[in-house]
Each structure stands twice: as structure tokens, then as C-alpha cells.
Amino acid sequence: MRDVGGDVEPRTPEGCEECLKAGDGWVHLRLCMACGHVGCCDDSKNKHASKHVRASGHPVVRSLEPGESWLYCYPDDLFYDPEG
């Protein structure tokens, strides 16, 4: 997996940045490990996390779901779970 930074603070811990602005909902949240962008997952209708990856070139996201700690690298199509 590509290098991942340490602790990254979510820019909008209350939800997906773009969905909050639009007054829309989401299914699950993903945190960009490069800049802290919070986007909705690909099961959400807007898919803002993967749109952010394509627009920014930031390759790795982490799940923001309670009890989950996995990371995903888009270019390598690789999941990593430090808990297991």
C-alpha cells in the first residue's frame, strides 16, 4: 500500500462535506488520509469520496464508521485493516 500519513483530522466530522452543503444524505463516510476531506462512500448516491480521489490524486481513504479502522488504496485496489 502507498505511504499513509499518521493522524488526520476530519475537516467535517459531522458528515460528508459536499452532502452537508447540498442538504443531502449518505450511507457511510470515508476520510481522505492526505487532507482530511470527508466524503460519502460508493454505496451513497453521490460517491463524493471516490470523486475526491479522482480530482485530488489523494489515493488512500479510511472508514469513518464506528468500530471500523480499515483503509483502502484506490490505485492499488487494496484494503488494509490494522485491527486484523
pLDDT at 83: 83
The pLDDT of 53-73, averaged and rounded, is 96
Mean pLDDT on 22-27: 97
Q: Is 67 exposed, middle or buried (0-12, 13-18, 19+ CB in 10 A)?
A: exposed
The CATH topology of domain 17-80 is Herpes Virus-1 (3.30.40)
Query: Residue 32: beta bridge partners?
Result: 61
- What local confidence, expressed as pLDDT, does residue 1 receive? 47
